[in-house]
């Protein structure tokens, strides 16, 4: 339960900081923004798991991310499940050229930057990824 609560708190803070910078609500997120945020958060959550929750099985990371999408991003279960399954598939492919793979790894690095207090830099990193993809 502590893992889920920690992930939800991380997601809330990242999303709140991003939305405050953009001056809009979750409903105002473009689909690309939402997907990049979720993929980046997936990387951050895996960093959290590596650092503090090594015993958590991968399926719990998956179900926690689905819950995060449903609560924080107001997605349906089916939409959340499909996106998380797609992210996992892209990461497991090991294809370094894959955009999702790259964003997950940026999120992983972002988690450790976040822990060092570089929160604004993490939000800027997300914006930079979006600028590249737009």
Name, in order, each residue with C-beta under 8 angstroms of 108's C-beta and a sequence gap of 6 or more: 43, 44, 46, 47
Mean pLDDT of 103-124: 97
DSSP summary character for residue 26? G
pLDDT greater than 80 at residue 96:
no
DSSP summary character for residue 73? S
Q: Are 101 and 93 in contact (CB under 8 A)?
A: yes
DSSP summary character for residue 56? S
Q: Are 68 and 13 in contact (CB under 8 A)?
A: no
Q: Per-residue pLDDT tens for 8-63?
A: 999 999 999 999 999 888 889 999 999 999 999 999 999 999 999 999 998 999 99
């Amino acid at each position: 339960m502590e893992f889920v609560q920690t992930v939800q708190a991380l997601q809330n803070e990242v999303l709140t900081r991003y939305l405050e910078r953009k001056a809009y609500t979750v409903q105002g997120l473009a689909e690309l923004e939402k997907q990049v945020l979720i993929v980046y958060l997936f990387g951050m959550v895996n960093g959290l798991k590596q650092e503090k929750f090594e015993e958590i099985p991968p399926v719990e990371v998956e179900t926690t991310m689905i819950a995060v999408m449903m609560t924080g991003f107001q997605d349906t279960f089916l939409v959340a499940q499909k996106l998380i399954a797609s992210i996992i598939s892209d990461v497991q492919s090991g294809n370094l050229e894959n955009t999702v793979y790259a964003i997950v790894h940026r999120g992983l690095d972002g988690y450790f930057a976040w822990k060092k207090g570089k929160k604004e830099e993490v939000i800027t990193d997300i914006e930079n990824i979006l600028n590249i993809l737009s």
